[in-house]
Amino acid sequence: MEFVWQVENESVKLKTFLKGKGVSKKLLAKIKFHGGTMLVNDSVQNALHVVTPGDIVKIIIPDEGEHETLIPYDAPLEIVFEDEHLLVVNKPKDVASIPAQYHPVGTMAHRVKHYYNEQKYVNRVVHVVTRLDRDTTGLMLFAKHGFAHAMLDKQLQNKTLNKYYTALVSGKIDDLSEEGQIDLKIGRDMTSLIKRQVTEDGQEALTNYWLEKKTAEVAQVKIQLKTGRTHQIRVHFSGVGCPLLGDNLYGGNMDLGIDRQALHCTRLEFIHPFTHEPMILTLEIPEDMKQVMNQ
């Protein structure tokens, strides 16, 4: 895969210029030792070469091949957006994002691997950028090569890649403001291997929300996480007396027609790492959540 830039400002070493474009030391080493090339004005150069304004810099990154241990899994894949760098899909319920002890096959990673194989892509390593819990549905972002993954990880760290969710909650819904923030620390529940809880000695956790709709029993809320704690949305709304519908782990109502946590990633906002265009991808809530609100 090739990437090309023109030097615009001061004269600097090639490695310094590439660092400014997001090329890490690890990627430089891959280019150097695994079949890649760095060129300046079509001449091969090393990282210490000094580039000057007007120079054309090209890097050729070697193909990644594939994860040989990740077994392809043939299952439907609903693609929301795709280009040569990114893939965004709609994750269904009851599917884990990545392989784990209790979900060794059939995950979204396995499904994407099958899709890459079917398309005969040269890069078949599956790079998961944004994960979702097994029963959470909605937008899930993959990078199609390691350079894109690194660039998007930087946006996650800098909080310029934002995810928005829609949840259905019940309980003390009359206590919810039109717009609010839940500021409750989250830590492990020592009685469970997976459960978390609100606790004074936990990690800082902030959740912003906006009330979108409300019936006599259910509120539909838009949510943005300001921190990324495990089960944060589920723990926070349970902590304020409004657990997610279908979330039996955190006390959610199981009698309103939905049997999984009513949580859906509805919106992704980020800057495309190579075109630099603002990316805004949206997705409606799924049918099981719609039916609850329409009852």
pLDDT, tens only, 180-192: 999 999 999 999 9
Alpha-carbon radius of gyration of the chain: 22
Other CB atoms within 10 A of residue 174 CB: 8
- For 170-249, list the strands marked E by DSSP: 179-183, 186-188, 196-198, 206-214, 219-225
pLDDT recorded at residue 295: 82
- In the chain, CATH 3.30.2350.10 covers 63-158, 163-265
- In the chain, CATH 3.10.290 covers 2-60
Q: What CATH code is assigned to 63-158? A: 3.30.2350.10
Q: Is 133 a catalytic residue?
A: yes
Q: How far apart are CA 149 and CA 86, in angstroms?
A: 9
**Could you report how far apart the first and last alpha carbons of the chain are, in Å?**
51
What is the secondary structure of 108-126 as a DSSP string? HHHHHHHHHHHHT-SEE--
In this prediction the pTM is 0.93
**How many Cα atoms occupy the beta-carbon half-sphere of 123 within 13 Å?**
19
**Which of these is catalytic: 63, 133, 153, 189?**
133
49 alpha-carbon distance from chain centroid? 37
Architecture of domain 163-265: 2-Layer Sandwich (3.30)
pLDDT recorded at residue 104: 87
Task: Give start and end residues of each alpha helix (H) in 21-170.
Answer: 25-33, 108-119, 146-158
Q: How far apart are CA 44 and CA 111, in angstroms?
A: 39
Q: How far apart are CA 27 and CA 151, in angstroms?
A: 12
Residue ranges, the chain, pLDDT below 70: none
In CATH terms, 2-60 corresponds, of 3.30.70, 2.70.150, 3.10.290, 3.30.420, to 3.10.290
Nearest Cα neighbor of 241 from 166, 181, 170, 167 is 170
**Phi and psi based region of residue 184 (left: phi greater than 0; alpha: psi -120 to 50; beta: remaining):** beta
pLDDT recorded at residue 66: 82
193-222 residue pLDDT tens: 899 999 999 999 999 999 999 999 999 999
pLDDT recorded at residue 258: 95
Strand, helix or coil at 58? strand
pLDDT recorded at residue 65: 83
211, 178 in Cβ contact below 8 A?
yes
Handedness of CA 119, 121, 124, 129 (dihedral sign): negative
pLDDT recorded at residue 52: 96
Torsions phi, psi for 105 (to 5 deg):
-140, 165
